[in-house]
């Protein structure tokens, strides 16, 4: 009887933990949802070169700030951000992935970063401020470098 009671107790604890204890993957998904919600709150914030606050952002400052709000520390520059995480093929993008572009005429390589929000859209800081754009636009499509998942 004692063994049976112990077995039932263990089974109950395991079953209870499956329903009420968050797992790393559910934590990651919740974190990505929070990240995108924080980013969307900032739509319309003006562009400011070197900016890292809601007074004004540049692209990497925006990504740096939004990630910091959800407890993720990133390097400050887009080129350094590109060195983090795992490469993700464009067809496998998930909300929260970082998307990188080459927008510089002077230097080749990563010069812009955005956050993928789903439906082939990114949110980022550009000269017109924080906004949402399509990856299919003629401008961003031709400048796409790659994506990373943290």
CATH number reported for the structural domain that contains residue 93 in this entry? 3.90.1720.10
112 catalytic? Reply is yes
59 catalytic? Reply is yes
Number of domains in the chain: 1
Position 5 scores a pLDDT of: 40
15: in domain: no
18 catalytic? Reply is no
58: in domain: yes
Host domain of residue 127 = 24-149
- Active site residue: 18, 67, 89, 124, which one? 124
8: in domain: no
Q: Please write the tens of the pLDDT for every residue from 26-73.
A: 576 789 999 999 999 999 999 999 999 999 999 999 999 999 999 999
Q: Please write the tens of the pLDDT for every residue from 77-132.
A: 999 999 999 999 999 999 999 999 999 877 789 999 999 999 999 999 999 999 99
- Active site residue: 18, 59, 67, 89, which one? 59
CB neighbours of 79 closer than 8 A, spacing ≥ 6?
A: 109, 110, 111
| Cα distance between residue 114 and residue 141, in whole Å | 13
Asked if the model's pLDDT at residue 10 lies above 90, the reply is no
Nearest alpha carbon to residue 109 among 84, 83, 79: 79
75: in domain: yes
Position 107 scores a pLDDT of: 75
Q: Give residue 3's pLDDT band: very low, low, confident or very high (50, 70, 90).
A: low
5: in domain: no
């Amino acid at each position: 009887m004692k063994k049976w009671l112990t077995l039932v107790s263990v089974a109950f604890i395991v079953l209870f933990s499956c329903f009420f204890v968050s797992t790393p993957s559910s934590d990651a998904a919740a974190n990505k949802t929070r990240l995108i919600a924080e980013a969307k709150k900032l739509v319309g914030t003006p562009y400011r070169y070197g900016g890292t606050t809601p007074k004004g952002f540049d692209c990497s400052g925006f990504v740096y700030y939004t990630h910091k709000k959800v407890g993720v520390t990133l390097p400050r520059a887009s080129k350094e951000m590109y060195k983090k995480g795992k490469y993700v093929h464009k067809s496998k993008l998930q909300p929260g992935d970082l998307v990188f572009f080459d927008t510089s005429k002077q230097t080749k390589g990563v010069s812009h970063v955005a956050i993928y929000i789903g439906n082939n859209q990114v949110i980022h800081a550009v000269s017109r401020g924080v906004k949402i754009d399509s990856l299919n636009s003629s401008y961003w499509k031709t400048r796409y470098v790659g994506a990373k998942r943290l």
